[in-house]
């Protein structure tokens, strides 16, 4: 399964511990990686994806100059559906068009998500796109769905348990903090 690494507010984004977690993720999950940074001062979210080498991802993340109050999510992929290409790397943007959802570099005004697991309900093995793409485009990008998540995470999980199952999902929102669904393990304040 894929791997999500989160550096929430209050953690150093350039710590050796976090960098080693990223490197470790690449060892077992080498089919495309990406990251998102949410800058606390501006609320802007920057994404970059399409990495097959941990040192390139780390160097790119270093150039983003994330500070202690910013939030970072990194995703290392194992492909269960969809092609092994940059378009299927995470994070995905919760936008309204195909082009917005698969954007591979730059700032976005929309929330983003990364995912660990398989959204069986959204798996189309004949599609070039992954279950996470289909989940994002067909479900998570719906404003009313996002509204419920932002209002009450427990209600979201109850109402949409048939969509989520035992998957792990991390959301970065421009207007609020990091939101996680599922059982994340915390070590030295990183998830």
pLDDT in tens, the chain (191 residues): 688 999 999 999 999 999 999 999 998 888 899 999 999 999 999 999 999 999 999 999 999 999 999 999 999 987 788 778 888 889 999 998 999 999 999 999 999 999 898 787 877 777 899 888 889 999 999 999 999 999 999 999 999 988 888 889 999 999 999 999 999 999 999 99
Full-model pTM: 0.94
Q: 130-164: buried (b, 16+ CB within 10 Å) or exposed (e) per residue?
A: bbbbbbbbebbbeeebbebbeeeeeebeeebeebb
Predicted pLDDT of residue 108 = 96
CB neighbourhood size of 176 (10 A): 12
- Positive or negative CA dihedral for 188, 49, 47, 163? negative
With beta carbons less than 8 A apart as the criterion, state whether 65 and 118 touch.
Answer: no
Residue 43 falls in which region: left (phi positive, over 0), alpha (psi -120 to 50) or beta: left
Predicted local distance difference test score (pLDDT) of residue 43? 95
Gap between the Cα atoms of 101 and 130, Å rounded: 12
User: What pLDDT is attached to residue 56?
Assistant: 97
User: How far apart, in whole angstroms, are the C-alpha atoms of residue 62 and residue 172?
Assistant: 19
Whether the CB-CB separation of 13 and 6 falls below 8 Å is answered with no
The span from the CA of 2 to the CA of 29, in Å, is 6
Dihedral sign for Cα 84, 137, 166, 39, please. positive
């Amino acid at each position: 399964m894929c791997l999500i690494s989160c550096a929430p507010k209050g953690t150093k984004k350039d710590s050796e511990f976090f960098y080693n977690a990223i490197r470790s993720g690449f060892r077992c999950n080498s089919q495309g990686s990406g990251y998102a940074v949410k800058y606390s001062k501006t609320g802007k979210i920057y994404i970059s994806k399409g990495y097959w080498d941990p040192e390139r991802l780390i160097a790119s993340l270093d150039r983003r100059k994330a500070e202690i109050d910013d939030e970072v999510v990194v995703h290392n992929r194992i492909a269960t559906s969809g092609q092994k290409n940059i378009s299927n790397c995470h994070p995905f943007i919760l936008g309204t068009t195909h082009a917005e959802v698969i954007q591979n570099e730059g700032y976005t005004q929309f929330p983003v998500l990364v995912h660990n697991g398989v959204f069986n309900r959204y798996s189309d093995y004949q599609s070039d796109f992954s279950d996470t793409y289909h989940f994002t485009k067909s479900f998570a990008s719906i404003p009313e769905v996002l509204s419920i998540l932002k209002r009450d995470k427990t209600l979201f999980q109850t109402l949409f348990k048939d969509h989520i199952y035992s998957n792990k999902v991390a959301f970065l929102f421009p207007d609020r903090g990091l939101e996680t669904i599922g059982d994340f393990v915390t070590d030295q304040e990183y998830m």
